[in-house]
Chain A
Amino acid sequence: DQQVKQNSPSLSVQEGRISILNCDYTNSMFDYFLWYKKYPAEGPTFLISISSIKDKNEDGRFTVFLNKSAKHLSLHIVPSQPGDSAVYFCAASFGSNDYKLSFGAGTTVTVRA
C-alpha cells in the first residue's frame, strides 16, 4: 500500500514560469518530508525538506508547502529553468522510523524553452 502518492506522472512548463508539483500522503504519523530530483541513470539529489512543525520552507527558487490537515505538500519552482527538467520524488518519514523513507512514484518535469 503506497503511503506517498504523486498523482501527476508528468508536468510540462515553459521556461521562466512556475512549476508546481503535488504530493499526497495517507499516514498521519509522517513528520518529515523531502523532495528529491533525479536525472536519468543517476541517483536522486536532495532538494529541500520540511518538518511537520512548519508549513513552508524556502530555499532559493524552491519552496515547499505543507498542509497537514489535507495531508498534502507541494513543491514550487520559480522561475523554471531548462536544467530543472528531471524526475521529482516526494518522500516522507516519521518518528522512530525516521531512517525509513517512503517515496512517491515521481513526477517528470519538462521545461520548454
Chain B
Amino acid sequence: ETGVTQTPRHLVMGMTNKKSLKCEQHLGHNAMYWYKQSAKKPLELMFVYSLEERVENNSVPSRFSPECPNSSHLFLHLHTLQPEDSALYLCASSQFKGATFFGQGTRLTVV
C-alpha cells in the first residue's frame, strides 16, 4: 500500500457532471496538496491544506472546490469543468519542511 492513495485512477466526465476526487494519506503528515499536471507543463500547485486549514489557493477557478475533513483525507470536488481541465491531478502530503510524497494521480478527461 502506498503512503498516498488516490481514487479513482481514471475519470471521464461530461462538462455538466459533478464528480469528486479522493485522496488519503497514511503517513501521519500534517499538510496535503492538490497539484495539476498538464501535458508538457511543470506541475502546478492548486491547493494546500496545513493542519486541515487551507493556506494556499493558487488562483484556481471555482469549478474546483477542495475539502479537507481531517488530516488524512482530501477531496477535490469538480463541477461544470471544461475540456482544457483534462489533466493528471495529483494529491500529495508532507510533514513540515519534509519531502512531499505524491499519490499515483487521477487521469481526468472532460468530454
Q: Which residues of A contact B (CB under 8 A)?
A: 2, 4, 32, 34, 36, 41-46, 49, 89, 91, 98-101, 103-106
Contacts and interface: CB of A to CB of B under 8 A. Distances in A.
Interface of B: 4, 6, 31, 33, 40-43, 45, 48, 50, 55-56, 88, 90-92, 94, 96-97, 99-105, 107
Binding site secondary structure of chain A: loop
Contacts of B42: 2, 4, 89, 103-106
Contacts of B4: 43
22 contacts: A2-B42, A4-B42, A32-B97, A43-B90, A43-B92, A43-B102, A46-B99, A49-B99, A89-B42, A91-B43, A98-B96, A98-B97, A99-B33, A99-B56, A99-B94, A99-B96, A100-B45, A101-B43, A103-B42, A105-B41, A105-B42, A106-B42
Contacts of A32: 97
A2 to B, nearest CB: 7
The 3 closest A-B CB pairs, nearest first, are A43-B102, A103-B43, A103-B42
B104 A42 contact: yes
Contacts of B101: 46
A82 B104 CA distance: 21
Contacts, number: 57
B105 A43 contact: yes
Contacts of A49: 99
A100 B99 contact: no
